């Protein structure tokens, strides 16, 4: 990141041709960067477990003869809006907690807080606004789902500190990012069963896997500042761990599918996802930061394939 880049108002690891820089006024750029609107992969990965859970519940409802397509579509819209809002709020909170660390890492020191383009008060105000949007989305659901959603805040609050006390901060990220695996089912039925629980656990394993790949970008800087991660923990054994984590993801999703009684097409989606996981593992070079970022982002397509399989299975449930 050069001084000229910093003066240009961009951040080091976001594409400079993003819509944020074409549409929003320059004064709004730092806030969009705090919320990571210029890097949509985060809210996409947060959204997919919500979508999976909703589609899984829809398959179960279709089998029971009680599916409401209108309700499913409404819930998907809510989860989209909530994912954008809460991912933005989570990133803003994380940046507030990690401001000093971010200033020591090359990839993150150009962010709005460490670069001084936003004050802590402004960031806290923006955090509150985003959280309010998330709350407005949450209260559209039934009371069980509302309470369940509020419970997730405990995990979200702990995550930014996890890298200070454990080599498994990706596990805590998985707990938070995968919570939607419970919410979709809860929103549909007002309760939980083993099917969404297995899906939630599968999504956690998936999150640990893809975020380990992501964390390999920063492992040298992390080692210097004392930040811990599964990338540093796994090291040269990362591919073996990914085989286990992605394999566990598929196994747990398979259990969820079987318990929910999904249509056969959903299983074809899992097969395609398995091939995509295998491609990530074969291609991975943990010392190539650009490739790590590309492979990490490819998990958006994995999420889409699994969701598509569940939706296309609805007529066969």
CB 240 within 8 A of CB 282: no
- Residue 8's pLDDT band (boundaries 50, 70, 90)? low
Q: How many residues does the chain have?
A: 317
Q: What is the value of pTM for the model shown?
A: 0.91
Q: What is the average pLDDT across 30-47?
A: 92
CA 251 to chain centre: 20
* pLDDT, position 116: 86
| Structure confidence by residue, pLDDT tens digits, 241-272 | 999 999 999 999 999 999 999 999 999 999 99
Of 77-81, 153-157, 302-306, give the lowest mean pLDDT range.
153-157
Q: What is the average pLDDT across 63-88?
A: 96
| Structure confidence by residue, pLDDT tens digits, 123-140 | 999 999 999 999 999 999
- 10 Å CB burial of residue 153 (0-12, 13-18, 19+) is middle
Of 122-126, 207-211, 227-231, give the lowest mean pLDDT range.
227-231
CB 31 within 8 A of CB 126: yes
Among 37-41, 87-91, 92-96, 134-138, the range with the most confident prediction by mean pLDDT is 134-138
CA distance 39 to 41: 6
* pLDDT, position 12: 65
- Residue 103's pLDDT band (boundaries 50, 70, 90)? confident
Confidence check: pLDDT of 210 > 80:
yes
| Structure confidence by residue, pLDDT tens digits, 268-310 | 999 999 999 999 999 999 999 999 999 999 999 999 999 999 9
**Residues in contact with 128: Cβ distance below 8 Å, sequence separation at least 6, in sequence order:** none
- Residue 208's pLDDT band (boundaries 50, 70, 90)? very high
* pLDDT, position 2: 42
Q: What is the average pLDDT across 189-217?
A: 97
Confidence check: pLDDT of 73 > 50:
yes
Q: What is the average pLDDT across 50-70?
A: 96
**Residues in contact with 32: Cβ distance below 8 Å, sequence separation at least 6, in sequence order:** 20, 24, 38
Mean pLDDT of the chain: 91
- Residue 7's pLDDT band (boundaries 50, 70, 90)? very low
Angle at 149 between CA 143 and CA 154, to 5 degrees: 135
């Amino acid at each position: 990141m050069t001084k000229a880049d910093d003066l240009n108002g961009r951040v080091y690891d976001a594409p400079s041709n993003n819509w944020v820089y074409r549409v929003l006024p320059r004064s709004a750029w730092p806030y969009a960067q705090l919320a990571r609107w210029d890097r949509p992969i985060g809210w996409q990965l947060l959204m997919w477990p919500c979508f999976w859970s909703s589609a899984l519940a829809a398959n179960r409802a279709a089998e029971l003869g009680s599916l409401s397509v209108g309700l499913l579509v409404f819930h998907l819209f809510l989860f989209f809006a909530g994912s954008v809002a809460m991912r933005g709020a989570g990133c803003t909170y994380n940046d507030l907690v990690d401001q000093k660390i971010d200033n020591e890492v090359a990839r993150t020191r150009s962010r709005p807080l460490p670069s001084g383009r936003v004050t802590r008060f402004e960031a806290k105000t923006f955090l509150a606004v985003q959280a309010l949007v998330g709350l407005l989305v949450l209260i559209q659901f039934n009371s069980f789902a509302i309470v369940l959603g509020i419970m997730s805040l405990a995990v979200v609050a702990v995550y930014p500190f996890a890298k200070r006390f454990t080599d498994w901060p990706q596990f805590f990220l998985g707990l938070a990012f995968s919570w939607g695996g419970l919410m979709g089912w809860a929103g549909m039925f007002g309760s939980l069963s083993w099917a969404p629980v297995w899906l939630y656990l599968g999504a956690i394993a998936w999150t640990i896997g893809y975020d380990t790949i992501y964390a390999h970008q920063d492992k040298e800087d992390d080692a210097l500042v004392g930040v811990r991660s599964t990338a540093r923990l796994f090291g040269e054994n990362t591919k073996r761990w990914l085989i286990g984590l992605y394999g566990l993801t598929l196994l747990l999703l398979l259990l969820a599918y079987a318990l929910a009684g999904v249509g056969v097409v959903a299983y074809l989606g899992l097969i395609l996802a398995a091939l995509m996981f295998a491609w990530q593992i074969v291609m991975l070079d943990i010392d190539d930061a650009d490739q790590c970022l590309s492979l990490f982002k490819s998990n958006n397509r994995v999420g889409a394939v699994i969701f598509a399989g569940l939706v296309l299975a609805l007529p066969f449930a």
